[in-house]
């Protein structure tokens, strides 16, 4: 039996290892003036955190901290878990070229047990949007914050302003909880998806408000087990599964639920879209329920003839198989006459579509429905009359 002294030493060591260590970026030279470059300070804090065997919290206090592109890679860290507590604002350089040629402004990868609480990300993307609209030669722009190859991730209370490209990207992750997030950008901001999820499983997006120039939430290939609830969208392009089928060999999308969502003045409400070209991908077991449409151009839409600019897909048909999709309790106003549009693939028609308790009006009259290559059933109240 171990001696009492040894037991005390082991307990002391255990407590020491388990007690959290907090690093404040002010202690490493960061200044909250919005002008002093704090990138080196934050990189130095990350190096300390990465080398620690203790649980680590990185603290970013109130103020504005100028930040260039930075990567938080946990591949060689002693602990893969870390917590960021952000009370202040991280602001990108006003010259969009500084971060605009990279894929990400802030990037996390190879972590397990990452939490990001609070904070504002101000990417100052408006000048890049203007460059793009002018037709000049501009960088493609950076996603504001990305998470890749990580698990057990919490993103809570984060605000993203004026991203150059996408605001938040989840790629190749497992068990991600996004809650209380606010995304804000101009309704004309290009390629400005709010939250994009792909190649990830067990992801939830809860209690969030997204206003942007592209999809509020976009769901890419390889997504399995996504739950979206209590999300307000607008302006924007709605909640979209796709675009799917850009590649001929592509992972499918399955087990997606969108529940209690409100769309206001958006281009689309709930949408599935795929390229009009061959692919082995699919979308199945999708649920859209309890959604409110306020003056939405296309409240319910499946578009399998997506072919922007009529390039690389004219005269072809989509190979994406869409099946088992339910639209339940969706009501409100359409900004166009056609409130329900199912434009499915002639090669692989949509099957198992279910409409239940749908009520959409256009200028105080019932909206219309338009179906092509779509099969399924309807139940409960139907306005417009089902075209399945």
Residues designated catalytic: 237
Angstrom distance (rounded) from CA 193 to CA 121: 15
Relative to beta strand 321-334, strand 365-366 is unpaired
Angstrom distance (rounded) from CA 214 to CA 210: 10
- Kindly report the backbone phi and psi dihedral angles of residue 328, in degrees, each rounded to the nearest multiple of 5, phi listed first: -125, 130
Q: Which residues contact 39 (CB under 8 A, 6 or more apart)?
A: 66, 67, 68, 69, 70
First-last CA distance in the chain: 75
Residues 165, 141 contacting (CB under 8 angstroms): yes
Residues 160, 166 contacting (CB under 8 angstroms): no
Distances (CA, A) of 315 to 46, 305, 312, 322, 372: 52, 10, 9, 20, 16
Angstrom distance (rounded) from CA 322 to CA 345: 9
Angstrom distance (rounded) from CA 6 to CA 258: 55
Please tell me whether residue 220 adopts helix, strand or coil conformation: coil
The DSSP result for 121-135, as a single string, is EE--THHHHHHHHHT
Query: 157: alpha, beta or left, given left = phi > 0 and alpha = psi -120 to 50?
Result: left
Among residues 276, 271, 267, the alpha carbon closest in space to that of 310 is found at 276
| Residue position matching structure tokens 């938040």 | 168
**Residue 148, strand partner residues:** 109, 171
């Amino acid at each position: 039996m171990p001696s009492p002294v040894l037991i005390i030493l082991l307990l002391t060591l255990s407590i020491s290892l388990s007690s959290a260590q907090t690093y404040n970026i002010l202690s490493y030279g960061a200044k909250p003036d919005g002008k002093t470059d704090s990138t080196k300070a934050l990189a130095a804090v990350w190096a300390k955190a990465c080398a620690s065997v203790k649980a680590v919290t990185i603290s970013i206090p109130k103020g504005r901290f100028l930040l260039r592109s930075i990567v938080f890679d946990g591949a060689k860290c002693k602990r893969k878990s870390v917590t960021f507590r952000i009370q202040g604002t991280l602001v990108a350089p006003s010259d969009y070229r500084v971060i605009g040629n990279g894929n990400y402004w802030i990037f996390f990868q190879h972590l397990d047990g990452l939490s990001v609480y609070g904070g504002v990300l101000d990417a100052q993307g408006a000048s890049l949007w203007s460059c793009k609209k002018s037709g000049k030669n501009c960088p493609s722009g950076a996603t504001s914050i990305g998470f890749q190859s990580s698990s057990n991730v919490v993103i809570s209370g984060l605000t993203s302003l004026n991203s150059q490209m996408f605001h938040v990207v989840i790629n190749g992750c497992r068990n991600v909880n996004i809650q209380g997030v606010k995304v804000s950008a101009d309704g004309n901001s290009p390629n400005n998806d709010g939250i994009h999820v792909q190649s990830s499983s067990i992801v939830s997006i809860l209690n969030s408000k997204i206003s942007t120039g592209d999809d509020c939430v976009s769901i890419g290939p390889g997504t399995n087990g996504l739950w979206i609830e209590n999300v307000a969208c607008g302006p924007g392009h709605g909640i979209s599964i796709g675009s799917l089928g850009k590649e001929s060999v592509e992972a499918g999308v399955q087990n997606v639920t969108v529940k209690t969502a409100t769309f206001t003045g958006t281009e689309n409400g709930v949408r599935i879209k795929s390229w009009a070209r061959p692919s082995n991908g699919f979308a199945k077991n999708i649920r859209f329920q309890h959604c409110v449409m306020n003056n939405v151009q296309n409240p319910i839409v499946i578009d399998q003839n997506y072919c922007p600019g009529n390039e690389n897909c004219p005269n072809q048909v989509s190979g994406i198989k869409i099946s088992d999709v339910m639209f339940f309790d969706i009501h409100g106003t359409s900004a166009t006459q056609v409130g329900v549009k199912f434009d499915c693939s002639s090669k692989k028609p949509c099957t198992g579509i279910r409409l239940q308790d749908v009520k959409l009006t256009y200028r105080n009259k019932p909206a219309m429905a338009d179906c092509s290559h779509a099969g399924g059933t309807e139940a409960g109240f139907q306005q417009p009359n089902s075209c399945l």
